[in-house]
Amino acid sequence: MTQSLHQMFERYGSALGAEGPVVVLFVGLALVGSFVWMRAVGGSGPSQRGSGSGRNRWLLGCAVSGGVAWGMSLAWLGDDAFISFRYAENLANGQGLVFNPGERVEGYTNFLWTLVLAGFAFAGLDPPTVSLALSLVSFGALIALVPRVLRTAHPDFQKVGVGVAAFLVAAQYTLASFATSGLETMLAAMLSLLAIERAQSRAPLASGAAGVAAALAHPDHGILYAVLGVALGWDRGRRRELFRYGLPFVLVYLPYFLWRWNYYGSFFPNTYYAKSGDLWYLSQGGLYVASFLIGSGLWLSLPLILFGIARLRGVLLGRYLMIAVPVFLLYVAKIGGDFMYGRLLCPLLAPLFVAAEVGLRTLFVRRRWGVAAVALCLLALTAVPTRIFAPGEKKWHISDERTFYPLVSFFPLEVESRYFRWARSIDRHLRSQGVDPRIALECVGTVGYYTGLPVIDTLGLTDAWVARRPIRQRGRPGHEKRAPIPHVFARGAELSDRPLYPKPYAEWTRLPLDRFDFFLARFDPAWLERLRGATGARLAALKARVDGFVASEKAGQSAEDLACDAWFFDWLVAEPTDSTGLRLATESALLEAGRIRRVLGDPERVSGELRATHRPEPGTSIRFDEPSKDATHFRRVNVPDASVDRWIQTGMAGWEGGVLTTRTGEKGEVATIHLRSEPFEIVGDVLEFSLAGGRNVANLSVSLWVDGARRFAATGCGSELPGRRLWWTAPFVGRQAVVEVVDTARGRGAHLVIDEIVQWVPRDSVDEAAL
């Protein structure tokens, strides 16, 4: 972390140097302001010298209009914002507060914001455009509130005019950035500040309502609401106000909470689980807080801010800040912060700038001219837009998210984003021709909103199963969990933004739309009747591969190629035109992959008769649904460093019950595994099992040994998608056999997953119900 802090300071110095003219301007204004302030102090001090109301209104108008204009110049719409837009649209259209109709998952953390947007959507207005207007209005209101918070903070400041804090809030880069974005950030920050102002003005009911509204806009602000309540209770003379302050919580928030718990069936929002809010991630959270303090220049004014808080320690604002700053910063650090630079710290900035101004005014009143002038110059540096993250850069798992999604045009609304272009391409090439695929995406907002397609969120924000997966390795907050490929298939995906099959099949399923590549999960031949151009040509080529697989003799291919071709086509074709032909071709390939030519001459004849003449015998099944029991089927050979039941895993995506896997415990992909089953008798003509994992027959294999000789072997296809294996064991009926599992491979995906080993026996008429 020390090295990272050093780099942050270096970047801040470079960014400050790059803004040289702006630095000179703001420092010059600070020096002029210091001189004016010295002359204005006189005997009673600036806190007692009011200004004309007309001039105050003019100055405040300049601060508000300047801040809003600054925010508009930085306008952007983040992909996450479109998640809320889609929830709002669905609610307005009568489909419920859901992302995908029929799926109740709370993939937003801004209920009030989404509800307000839904109201505008119901009235026929566009949520993205409305969100920009509401955020800018909220930013303007935040700036306008700052002088009122200062004046109501302490009797000594009742006659203060606009002050410098309002101008600092208006100029602060991060606040101005989130003056748009489409997110609730600015509304929540404004409501939190309004709660402080109302509490200082002795209006506890309004204060509580504003605080609860802030928590409804974003749950994190519930901490600030609670802290303000503690600060009120700190003053014995104001404890009676706590009843009215807490009334909105009882009458509004509790009913809302019970409703959402019942509606979604989850105590916390789904995003809480997706971001593993229950875990501590101080190493990342510390970097997040430090990056903002350094990048904003706020670290230079920390002594002044602390001095101002100390000056206010006997009043509500001081008590609030003494609790809120450490508690909220600890919370932000605990959860690992956010991937958006500075976003979570926005609600603290305005009251901190007020504290800084209190400290500054106190220095001038006490005639500490030199210290006050230096402090004002350092405070002015927080208004310099120093950017320690380059546009489009991800560093320390943080980025200046605004630079990824800049707004090109307000009317018509257009965002410079690949996801915005993806949505247009999908509409142009697929939806306009009557193809509406279920699509799996990492960033679901923009594409989901503009296409209206059913979307599978592979990062888990709107997917409850993915959100609750354990984190294997910490990384970028909110991007640490990914849907396993079997789960994507289980959700019914037809198209994806990433390959779902290994090479060479990934290239076969590539579907270019304009300059962007998508990948098929399932192939529906009906699409060929609708799609034209390059897209249709790609699908026609894939259909030709399917037909070629069905018609070919499959001679000359290796056992692994045959088995994996059969696995691939079995998964790819959702509803084949000739399901019988594809099924028979698949079984033929699997039988030939089992090297049955050594013991039987014609695999096609066997596969054609297999289902009609054979059935699985449950009594021969080896399953892995009960770890303590099923582990006894296998024992470790020559590798005594782990217990058997660590190989049995349950709840793997795409698999039912438990499975046998060579990905074990903390060793993961580097464990050496050598297992052998207890001997069993071969009673069936075919031995079938499911297999997935890495493709490396030399180091990753499942083998069948009969009378001490290795007769059959199989490896995975480089995927977690399970595939069948068929071995023709008829020549060995009555003999003793052992299943062997060997994993000496290393690296990502270097493991195997095996499920239900069962033998197929000849069936007669009385056994038909067994299938």
Residue 397, both tokens: 């798992």
* C-alpha–C-alpha distance, residues 285 and 591, integer Å: 55
CA dihedral (382, 388, 391, 392) in degrees, to 10, reads -130
Residue 632's pLDDT is what? 66
Distance CA(629)–CA(467), nearest Å, equals: 31
Query: In 430-558, where does DSSP find H-type helix?
Result: 445-451, 464-467, 485-490, 505-508, 533-551
Strand partners, 723: 691
Are 685 and 760 in contact by the 8 Å Cβ rule? The answer is yes
Residue 8, pLDDT > 80, answer yes
Concatenated DSSP letters for 607-667?
Answer: HHHHHHHEEE-GGG-B--SSHHHHGGGEEE-S--SS-GGGGEEE--TT--SEEEES-BGGG
In the structure encoding, which two tokens stand for residue 501, read together?
């099959």
What pairs with residue 325 in β-bridges? none
Residue 312 and residue 156: Cα distance in Å, rounded?
Answer: 11
Nearest Cα to Cα of residue 305 among 295, 314, 316, 317? 317
Helical packing angle, 559-572 and 579-593, nearest 10°: 150
How far, CA to CA in Å, does 59 sit from each of 26, 52, 97, 139, 241? Answer: 17, 11, 43, 16, 34
Give the CA radius of gyration of the chain.
Answer: 33
Burial (CB count within 10 angstroms: exposed 0-12, middle 13-18, buried 19+), residue 298:
buried
pLDDT single digits (tens) 688-702: 999 999 998 888 999
Which residue in 397, 204, 146, 450 sits closest to 285, CA to CA? 397
What phi and psi, each to the nearest 5 degrees, are found at residue 766? Answer: -75, -15
Q: Which of 669, 638, 644, 670 is nearest to 658 (CA)?
A: 644
Average pLDDT estimate for 120-124? 96
Of 222, 232, 235, the residue nearest 327 (C-alpha): 222
Q: How many residues does the chain have?
A: 771
Contacts of 674 (CB under 8 A, 6+ apart): 636, 637, 638, 639, 740, 741, 742, 743, 744
Mean pLDDT rounded to a whole number for the chain = 88
Q: Comparing 104-108, 542-546, 560-564, 595-599, which segment has the lowest mean pLDDT?
A: 595-599
pLDDT at 769: 43
Q: What is the pLDDT of residues 451-463, one digit of tens each?
A: 999 999 999 999 9
Distance of CA 646 to the CA centre of its chain: 30
Instruction: Quote the pLDDT of residue 595.
Output: 53
Looking at residue 497, its amino acid is D
Distances (CA, A) of 319 to 152, 298, 453, 471, 534: 14, 21, 50, 38, 66
Q: Is the dihedral of CA 663, 664, 667, 672 positive or negative?
A: negative
Tell me how far apart the alpha carbons of residues 550 and 544 are, in angstroms, rounded to a whole number.
Answer: 10
Task: For residue 158, name the pLDDT band (cuts at 50, 70, 90).
Answer: confident
Question: Does residue 747 surpass a pLDDT of 60?
Answer: yes
The predicted pLDDT at position 598 comes to 40
Using pLDDT thresholds of 50, 70 and 90, give the confidence band for residue 374.
very high
All residues at 6 or more sequence positions from 133 whose CB lies less than 8 Å from its CB, including other chains: none
Summarize pLDDT for 242-265 with one digit per residue, the tens.
999 999 999 999 999 999 999 999
Q: Is 311 helix (H, G, I), strand (E, B) or coil?
A: helix
Q: Is the dihedral of CA 600, 602, 604, 607 positive or negative?
A: negative
Q: Quick check: helix, strand or coil at residue 34?
A: helix
By the 8 A CB rule, do 697 and 715 touch?
yes
Mean pLDDT highest for which of 154-158, 498-502, 534-538? 498-502
Of 318-332, 335-349, 620-634, 639-653, which gets the smallest average pLDDT? Answer: 639-653
Q: Which of 736, 718, 675 is nearest to 568 (CA)?
A: 718
> How far is residue 278's CA from residue 272's CA, in Å, rounded to a whole number?
8
Would you call the peptide bond into 406 cis, given omega within 30 degrees of 0 as the criterion? no
In angstroms, rounded to a whole number, what is the distance separating the alpha carbons of residues 436 and 431? 6
pLDDT at 670: 64
What tokens were used for 39?
A: 């002359």
> Of 10-24, 619-633, 745-759, where does the model show the most confidence?
10-24
pLDDT (tens digit per residue) in 414-434: 999 999 999 999 999 999 999
pLDDT digits (tens, 9 = 90+) for 264-288: 999 999 999 999 888 999 999 999 9
Could you give the angle at the alpha carbon of 252 between the alpha carbons of 247 and 254, nearest 5°? 95
Q: What percentage of the chain exceeds 70 in pLDDT?
A: 89
Distance separating alpha carbons of residues 204 and 195, to the nearest angstrom: 8
**Highest-confidence segment of 323-337, 616-630, 666-680:** 323-337
> Are 207 and 195 spatial neighbours (Cβ–Cβ below 8 Å)?
yes
The percent of residues above 90 in pLDDT, for the chain, comes to: 64
| Whole-angstrom distance, CA of residue 547 vs CA of residue 541 | 10
pLDDT of 486 > 60? The answer is: yes
Measured distance CA(611)–CA(197) in Å, rounded: 77
First to last CA, the chain: 61
The 8-class DSSP code of residue 181 comes to B
CA pair distance 460, 456, nearest whole angstrom? 9
How high is the pLDDT of residue 452? 95
Burial of 409-431, coded b for 16+ CB within 10 Å and e otherwise, reads: eeeeeebebbbbbbbebbbebbe
Q: Pull the structure tokens for residue 551.
A: 């018609």
CA–CA dist 625, 623 (Å, integer): 6
Phi and psi, residue 99, nearest 5°: -85, -55
Q: Name the band, by pLDDT with cuts 50, 70 and 90, for residue 502.
A: very high
Which pLDDT score, from 0 to 100, does residue 768 have?
A: 45
Which pLDDT does position 579 carry in this prediction? Answer: 52
State which amino acid sits at residue 248: P
Contacts of 229-233 with C-beta under 8 Å, sequence gap 24+, read 230/323, 231/199, 231/316, 231/319, 231/320, 231/323, 232/199, 232/204, 232/316
Q: Which two tokens stand for residue 564?
A: 């994996």
User: How many Cβ atoms sit within 10 Å of the Cβ of residue 670?
Assistant: 13
Segment 220-250, tens digit of pLDDT:
999 999 999 999 999 888 999 999 999 999 9
Residues 496/440, Cβ–Cβ less than 8 Å: yes
Residue 765, exposed/middle/buried by CB under 10 A (0-12, 13-18, 19+)? exposed
Query: Which pair of structure tokens corresponds to residue 368?
Result: 């500490």
Q: Give me 327's structure tokens.
A: 């508690």
Residue of 341, 366, 358, 514 whose CA lies nearest to 426? 514
Closest CA to 703 of 694, 695, 712: 712
**pLDDT one-digit tens code per residue, 11-45:** 999 999 999 999 999 999 888 888 777 766 643 44
**Residue 604 clears pLDDT 50, i.e. is over it:** no
Per-residue pLDDT, averaged over 598-616, amounts to 58
Confidence of residue 1 (pLDDT cuts 50, 70, 90): confident
